[in-house]
Amino acid sequence: MDISQSQRAAIARIRALMPHDVLLKADRVARMNGRYIGLSRDQRLKKAFKAMVESIAVVNLDEVAKPDKRRIVAVCGESGAGKTTALLRHTAETVAMRPYVDEDGNTKSPVLMMTAPSPCTPRLLAYEGLHALGYPVRSTLRENLMWKTFRDVLKAHEVMFLIIDEAQHAVDAANGVEITKIANSLKNLVQMPDWPLRIVLAGVEPLDQFLAIKQLANRSTVIPFSKMTGTSGEATIAEVTRMIIFDHAELSTALHEDEEFIKRLIHGCDRDFGTIVQMIRGAVEEAIDGDQTVVTNQQFANCFENNTGFEPDRNVFLVKNWKDTRPYDASHREANARLEKFARSRKK
């Protein structure tokens, strides 16, 4: 991430105000949070990115309209699965996606990363892309002209990879006509006759259903970010718990060997890998802030309470009947869905 000089100055000022011991702890936590934890799914994502880059390198303009599953890569999974973190990691590691200096000395970025707005329409999706590129355009521009302008500006900026996070916003409240328009617009982006562009989508349901329609199904590679389930999921989380606490934070614990604790951790985070990692790191931060060398169940309970606001009788790390507790991620998703439904009704 590029940081401006003014941002650096602001950060330096805050750091100068912090006591030395507090600053050391903050840096220690930041180093831990900066570590990436890969799973087997990362190999599929790496392979898909590699194929996407290679499809540009061997592009044949005479065959640009032919379906090609290397043109759209989609990462589908629930909130908290770790999709955005994985995309940022693999984008940074893919050489063809890194910024470069052209022959005129100008710094160019072949990647445009944007978030689909919510609520969303086909016109607003293109407008958001133009806004992300810094291109001034009236939001009232007609839909067909908005998409034409978006295609032209992508070419002018030499963007070759368009990454759209929260891509489900483009279709979750759309009618059949709008869904068809968005599908056709994405298809047209990846088969422009005079510019090679590839698209990466990330989102929750109904994104996977959207990608199954005819215009996109034969142009998309879908990589599911599934939940942590079964004995294999428990073994993975036990190892991740050990890795973060011992290797990344240089603390100790016995929790990774406690089968019931691992099950509580997975259940409390609704089996979502990204949320589980955040919970482990939150407990470790509790330990570091308290000058502790051993991470305990109480620190996980404290982190769960801080994140959810749940009382002790609803805390998955404290109650006896923990299987009956509500995972806080599921509760948050339901609340967000109600808010979005309310917002849409107010708009209507």
Who has greater pLDDT, 62 or 203?
203
Confidence (pLDDT) at 248: 96
Residue range 96-121: average pLDDT?
91
Same domain, 325 and 305: yes
Same domain, 198 and 263: no
Same domain, 240 and 324: yes
- What DSSP string describes 221-260? EEEE-----HHHHHHHHHHHHHIIIIIIS--B-SGGG-HH
94 pLDDT tier (thresholds 50, 70, 90): very high
Structure tokens at 60: 């044949």
The two most distant CA atoms of the chain are separated, in Å, by 67
Looking at the predicted structure, is the pLDDT value of residue 333 above 80?
no
Same domain, 171 and 291: no
Residue range 105-112: average pLDDT?
92
- For residue 187, the SS3 value is helix
* Cβ atoms < 10 Å from Cβ of 233: 18
Number of structural domains in the chain: 2
- For residue 82, the SS3 value is coil
Long-range pairs for 27-31: beta carbons < 8 A, 24 or more residues apart: 28/249, 28/288, 29/281, 29/284, 29/285, 29/288, 31/248
Same domain, 207 and 68: yes
Confidence (pLDDT) at 2: 60
Q: What is the mean pLDDT of the chain?
A: 88
297 forms bridges with which residues in the sheet? none
**pLDDT digit string (tens) for 155-189?**
999 999 999 999 999 888 778 888 889 999 999 99
Looking at the predicted structure, is the pLDDT value of residue 335 above 70?
no
pTM: 0.84
CA-nearest of 202, 210, 191 to 55 is 191
Please answer whether residues 137 and 124 qualify as being in contact, where contact means their C-beta atoms are separated by less than 8 angstroms: no
Question: Judging by DSSP bridges, how do beta strands 107-108 and 100-101 pair with one another?
Answer: antiparallel
Structure tokens at 89: 């990691």
Structure tokens at 294: 């051993």
Residue range 73-98: average pLDDT?
93
Same domain, 183 and 261: no
Looking at the predicted structure, is the pLDDT value of residue 266 above 70?
yes
Please answer whether residues 111 and 199 qualify as being in contact, where contact means their C-beta atoms are separated by less than 8 angstroms: no
Please answer whether residues 201 and 207 qualify as being in contact, where contact means their C-beta atoms are separated by less than 8 angstroms: yes
* Cβ atoms < 10 Å from Cβ of 262: 23
3 pLDDT tier (thresholds 50, 70, 90): low
Boundary of a domain, candidates 190, 224, 258:
224
* Cβ atoms < 10 Å from Cβ of 64: 16
Residue range 46-75: average pLDDT?
81
Report if residue 142 sits inside a domain: no
Residue with structure tokens 């959207």?
A: 210
Same domain, 212 and 255: no
Confidence (pLDDT) at 157: 95
What lies within 8 Å, CB to CB, of 88 at 6+ separation is none
- Domain range spanning residue 62? 40-115+160-224
Same domain, 186 and 96: yes
Same domain, 74 and 203: yes
Please answer whether residues 249 and 207 qualify as being in contact, where contact means their C-beta atoms are separated by less than 8 angstroms: no
Confidence (pLDDT) at 6: 86
316 pLDDT tier (thresholds 50, 70, 90): very high
* Alpha-helical runs (H) found in the chain: 5-17, 20-33, 40-57, 83-93, 122-132, 143-156, 176-189, 207-210, 214-217, 230-242, 259-268, 273-289, 297-308, 328-347
62 pLDDT tier (thresholds 50, 70, 90): low
Same domain, 263 and 209: no
Q: Identify which of 55-69, 137-151, 183-197, 234-248 has the greatest average pLDDT.
A: 234-248
Confidence (pLDDT) at 341: 52
Confidence (pLDDT) at 205: 85
CA gap 287, 237 in Å, rounded: 19
Q: What are phi and psi of 222, to 5 degrees?
A: -105, 125
Looking at the predicted structure, is the pLDDT value of residue 346 above 50?
no
* Residue type at 43 in one-letter notation: Q
Confidence (pLDDT) at 348: 47
Confidence (pLDDT) at 79: 86
CA-nearest of 300, 257, 306, 246 to 276 is 300
Who has greater pLDDT, 102 or 59?
102
